[in-house]
Amino acid sequence: METVSVAPKVWTRDAAPAEKRNVWTALTRGLRGRCPRCGEGKLFRAFLKVDDHCSVCGQDFTPHRADDLPAYLVIVIVGHIVVPTILWIETDYAPSVPLQLSIYLPLTLILSLLLLQPVKGAVVGVQWALRMHGFDEQNPTE
C-alpha cells in the first residue's frame, strides 16, 4: 500500500503572486525594439543580438529562446506579401522576366531585413510575457 504525504503549505516570499504581464503590451514593445517589461530600455545591442539585460529596469534577457522562430515568421509574412503581388502583376501585366526579377528579389530581401529585428523583438516580448523558458522567476531552472 502506498502512502501519500502532503507537505503543509507554508507561505513564503516565493509564493507571492507573480506580477501581471500583458502579452500585447510586451509584443508591441518588442516590435519597437524596447524592453518588454518597462518599454524604455533597448532590447537589442546589435541588429539581431539581444542585449543581456535592460539598461533601465535591469530585466535579464538571457533566458530568451527565440531561435529560428523569427526567421520562420518573416518568411511567412514576406511570402504572403510578395507571392500575391507577383501573381497579380503577372496575370494583369505580364512584364518581362528580368524586369520582374529585378523588382521581386530586392523587394523580398529588403522586406526580410526590415522585418527580422521587429519580429524577433516581438517573439522575445511574448516569451517574457508568457514566462517561457527562464523568464519565470518563480521557476528559474526551466
CA distance 127 to 27: 9
Give the residues across from 34 on adjacent strands.
42
Among 29, 37, 64, 120, binds Zn ion (CB under 5 A): 37
Place of cell 502583376: 89
Residue from 25, 59, 100, 112 touching Zn ion (CB under 5 A): that is 59
Could you say whether residue 44 binds Zn ion (CB under 5 A)?
A: no
- For Zn ion, which residue of 56, 71, 73, 89 counts as binding (CB under 5 A)? 56
In this structure, are residues 131 and 140 in contact, taking their beta carbons and an 8 Å threshold?
Answer: no
Q: Among 5-13, 18-26, 48-56, 106-114, which window interacts with Zn ion (CB under 5 A)?
A: 48-56
> Given candidates 18, 57, 76, 87, which one binds Zn ion under the rule CB under 5 A?
57
Size of the site for Zn ion (CB under 5 A): 8
Instruction: Give least dist CB 39 to Zn ion, A.
Output: 7
Nearer to Zn ion, 39 or 118 (CB): 39
CB contact set of 129 (below 8 Å; sequence gap of 6+): 21, 22, 23, 25, 26, 27, 36
Q: What is the CA radius of gyration of the chain?
A: 22
Q: Which residues bind Zn ion (CB under 5 A)?
A: 35, 37-38, 41, 54, 56-57, 59
